[in-house]
Structure 1
Amino acid sequence: MLHIRDMALPVRIASSALADDGAITTAGDFHQWFSQCVEKDESQVTRIPFSELSGWRFEEQTGNLVHHTGKFFSVRGLQVRTENRPVTEWSQPIINQPEIGILGILVKEFDGILHCLMQSKMEPGNCNRVQLSPTVQATRSNYTGVHRGSAVPYLDYFLDAEPRHVLADVLQSEQGSWFYRKRNRNIIVEATGDVEVLDGFCWLSVGQLHDLLTVDDLINMDARTVLSCLPFSGVGLCAIFPFDAEPLRSGLIRSISEDQGTLHTSSQIRSWITDSRVREDVETKLVDLTGVEGWHRSEDRISHETGTFFDVMAVDVQAGNREVLSWTQPMIESRNLGVVAFLIKRIRGVVHALVNARVEPGYLDVVELAPTVQCTPENYTHLPPEARPPLLDEVLSAPPDLIHFDTVLSEEGGRFFHTRNRYVIVEVPPDRDIEAPNDFRWMTLHQLAGLMQHSHYVNIQARSLITCLHSLLREPKRAAG
């Protein structure tokens, strides 16, 4: 057996990802435990008209939807102007949440295998109520007690972490189409002493989490983004974990090995991103919600006149196992299922993913790297044909034998109501060329991992898909549901 404790961190992470099972919890134990968590959840989430919101109000002069404390978040209007796009000007509602939350996973070794402490957590926007979340998932308003609720478990591990125990720590963006410059602290801390496992928490290896990604709506968005920040790249990994008989897995381990070849150098990629940010002329301005054109407010929702995009609506929440037992709040509800996809290709034996330098109005730095395809297809029915995302049809028409990952996963359940995307990974045969516009580039996983050590480079949808890509290092199998 490998002496994991003496190895570099990337090797420890890869070893945990490839372990057949966890040292603490078997797959069967997990599903029994999680089923019990779901059964114990007595929460009820009900759609309500805006007039039944408690603590929230539409400001008389601006029409903005705000909380009486001035904390949490508000729903405002955003005006956008850009050039060189099929649609050059629009306005929309957007969530403004300036405070930075904490998304944290506590990890610890058991029998030489790195494990993550995960939480079964109810969120009002989850289509199935309870999903698997990070150890800590809390806004600043939550963990500073603005809601007057109970304390957030395990929070001190992250607020008081010694630097030598921090495996990853970076501010990452949230959805740039629905949040205005929103960021959360993604942090992973390794525990060395005993950790009490509270009710609703469970230790799982990285490999077990990767297996669970194949279950629809199980691992939540916050867990996926933190997992993507694990330093899952290093030198010589393909020599330690050879998969020579399996071309895809061999290509993936080469992709996270920093000593393997890349189509573009990392300096070329950084220059391309910088150039994209300079060339994109995008003006955004927060405006009053009453000034948003094409959107109309009824008793229970704010909707676009075409019936597409998303709605702003409200819910009443009765939750028996949260820091606060009941509350009301506004949420965003997507109208249709989205598609989030990577095209991948083995280039000289190394898996590369096709990424898009994408403009979204809520980004702090104009452009972030996104998946090959990130859209809701129905949103383009009333737009000119040139607005249809490049390569969408390539993904939708992919034959089954080239689709290596295909799972419907939920977006953040604290702000988005029943909002889900189909996450897809499609392989392009090595002998086939893909014609992609200039705002696309082929990148390896270790190049993406390097960029994710910094803020505002890789968007949240791409980070979720990177976690899904890492899961393909596992032997192909479906987790029991």
Structure 2
Amino acid sequence: MALAAGRVGPADAIARFTLSATAGERARSPITEFHRWWAERATIERFSVTRVPFRELDGWHLAGDSENLVHRSGRFFSVEGLRYRGDGPGEQSQPIINQPEIGILGILVKEFDGVLHCLMQAKMEPGNVNTLQLSPTVQATRSNYTRVHQGNMPPYLEYFRGPDRGQVLVDVLQSEQGVWFWRKRNRNMIVHLTEDVPEHEDFHWLPLDQIHQLLKTDNLVNMDARTVLACMPLARPSTADCSPDDPFAWALLNSYDEELGLHTRTEILSWFTESQTRCEWSVQRIPLSEVTGWSWSDDDLAGGDEAPFRIIGVRVNAHNREVTNWSQPLLEPLGHGLAVFLAKSIGGVVHFLVQARKEPGLINVVEMAPTVQLPAVAGAVCDQGAVAYAMEAAAADPRRVRFDALLSEEGGRFHHGQTRYQIIEVGEEFPVEVPDEYCWMTAHQLMGLLDHSHYLNIEARTLLACVHSLW
């Protein structure tokens, strides 16, 4: 089928994304203009998030014998129970967030002077450690955009739904945290427009290279933006600011070449299918009342000393959201996570060590994850490979740490959830041979997997977006 006039073909889209990722002085405005706008939004916006007892959560209640924490509308999300038998001894149970609705995480893109720019949003989320973070153009659950809350429609939603939407360049369902969510998926979208777009004070146009630069700032680019950014296909850039004295930088560019790689795509898919086949975990949702080792107090639902999180309640005031006042539960992680890609130049091509990781809340239980991903589910057993690679990351020479930032997880459901994301170069002495649950992949191979659902988990997608910042 021929493309209509003005439509962008797949190869052309890759070229335009790649040009945007190396925009430099061709950007619509310098990065200093973003920082001026960001400081202004942080000064002008007024928000408050107050922790409250569960009895003060307006519209939320414990549902009968199940004691699931639910909203009176029956929509949004609920806190339920999960029971699973994993690799360790015995069964485990825990609370989990069940949000069956598929939301939209969408970035609107448009060319200015021949360079693709992304329309990004300064968005408040109640769980953000710093309240305001850089978000996609549209970040909305189905309950939001069908106005269950009787509030305003999210800005720019019409470009992603219905007859007025632009040309879709990316549209794929992707998972979210399988240790905290039950089978949650969101629609990751990138929509291209050629016509003028109404300006809004909470939104700003940025080329990809500026967004990639902002990824290096702690707690600035939010999780929902990072997953969509990871889904943008890129090619090896024709120009990049690489030092001739940095072999890793040149090998990284080779990682974007579709012809190079230790393994073929078929070999990678076969490895992953084998990992899924070997998984014998059994998982089921249960009433929250049947979760063992967890107990209610007036203001939290908590497990024992080794529980990785608790459930709390908050009251929110935010004048620029679709609804200005509401209350809700949040999952509060008790500590920071760690997600690391170990990166090795193999034959002059940077490869990233990927693991097939099990998480009970994922649809298929197994997805591809960073080399190191901690903390694990409470009670889960780390295999010897995971322990060894975590030690490798902890002992890394600082000069080999190519990326290091503390980034927030989903602020709409998690209270101050943060993960340290690192990309660490390993040397020639690091073996190419790895345990069965691990596989070396290039940047190009990782990007190719994101054409489809349920391959890369949310932490791996964040790290892939961070890989692009190393050009």
> Do both share a fold (TM > 0.5)?
yes
Structure 2 length normalisation: TM-score?
Answer: 0.93
Cα distance in 1 between the residues matched to 2:104 and 2:195: 22
Map of 1:421 onto structure 2: 419
Map of 1:309 onto structure 2: 308
CA pair 242-336 structure 1, distance change in 2 beyond 3 A: closer
- The answer to whether residue 64 in structure 2 is matched with residue 66 in structure 1 is no
Cα distance in 2 between the residues matched to 1:280 and 1:325: 45
Map of 1:252 onto structure 2: 252
Q: Secondary structure at the match of 2:73?
A: coil
> Number of matched residues?
462
Cα distance in 2 between the residues matched to 1:161 and 1:409: 36
What is the correspondence of 1:1-12 to structure 2 with a 5 Å cutoff? 8-12=12-16
Map of 1:373 onto structure 2: 372
Q: Tell which deviates more after alignment, 321-330 or 246-255.
A: 246-255
Unmatched 5+ residue regions in structure 1? 474-481
Match of 2:188 among 173, 186, 190: 186
Q: Residue by residue, what CA displacement relative to the aligned partner does 1:340-386 show, whole Å, maximum 9, x if unpaired?
A: 11000111111110001011001111210000111128968x97996
Match of 1:463 among 461, 464, 468: 461
What is the correspondence of 1:166-205 to structure 2 with a 5 Å cutoff? 166-205=168-207
Match of 1:152 among 151, 154, 162: 154
Q: Give the conservation status (yes or no) of the 8 Å contact 2:158–2:164.
A: no
Map of 2:28 onto structure 1: 24
Q: Secondary structure at the match of 1:8?
A: helix
- Identity %, equivalent residues: 49
CA pair 465-56 structure 1, distance change in 2 beyond 3 A: same
Q: Give the conservation status (yes or no) of the 8 Å contact 2:160–2:166.
A: no
- The answer to whether residue 155 in structure 2 is matched with residue 125 in structure 1 is no
- Deviation at 1:46? 0.6
Cα distance in 1 between the residues matched to 2:88 and 2:375: 16
Q: Give the conservation status (yes or no) of the 8 Å contact 2:49–2:316.
A: yes
CA pair 216-239 structure 1, distance change in 2 beyond 3 A: closer
Q: Secondary structure at the match of 2:64?
A: coil
What is the correspondence of 1:11-90 to structure 2 with a 5 Å cutoff? 11-21=15-25, 23-82=27-86, 85-90=87-92
1:285 partner amino acid: Q
- Deviation at 1:389? 4.0
Q: Secondary structure at the match of 1:13?
A: helix
Map of 2:137 onto structure 1: 135
Q: Residue by residue, what CA displacement relative to the aligned partner does 1:414-455 show, whole Å, maximum 9, x if unpaired?
A: 000001000111001134326642101000111111111000
- Deviation at 1:230? 0.4
Q: Secondary structure at the match of 1:30?
A: helix
- Deviation at 1:124? 0.2
Map of 1:116 onto structure 2: 118
- The answer to whether residue 337 in structure 2 is matched with residue 335 in structure 1 is no
Q: Secondary structure at the match of 1:132?
A: strand
Map of 2:3 onto structure 1: none
Q: Secondary structure at the match of 2:116?
A: strand
Q: Give the conservation status (yes or no) of the 8 Å contact 1:238–1:257.
A: no
Q: Give the conservation status (yes or no) of the 8 Å contact 1:104–1:134.
A: yes
Question: Could you say what the CA RMSD is over the residues aligned between the two structures, in angstroms?
Answer: 2.2
Cα distance in 1 between the residues matched to 2:342 and 2:362: 24
Map of 2:233 onto structure 1: 231
Q: Secondary structure at the match of 1:72?
A: coil
Q: Give the conservation status (yes or no) of the 8 Å contact 2:82–2:93.
A: yes
CA pair 146-238 structure 1, distance change in 2 beyond 3 A: closer
Q: Residue by residue, what CA displacement relative to the aligned partner does 1:251-297 show, whole Å, maximum 9, x if unpaired?
A: 222111212x2111110110111111111011111101011011111
Q: Secondary structure at the match of 2:204?
A: strand
Cα distance in 2 between the residues matched to 1:20 and 1:163: 29
Cα distance in 2 between the residues matched to 1:35 and 1:468: 24
Cα distance in 1 between the residues matched to 2:52 and 2:123: 23
Cα distance in 2 between the residues matched to 1:351 and 1:186: 27
CA pair 215-240 structure 1, distance change in 2 beyond 3 A: closer
Cα distance in 1 between the residues matched to 2:462 and 2:289: 34
Q: Residue by residue, what CA displacement relative to the aligned partner does 1:170-224 show, whole Å, maximum 9, x if unpaired?
A: 0000101111010000000111111112110000000000000111100000000
Q: Give the conservation status (yes or no) of the 8 Å contact 1:57–1:68.
A: yes
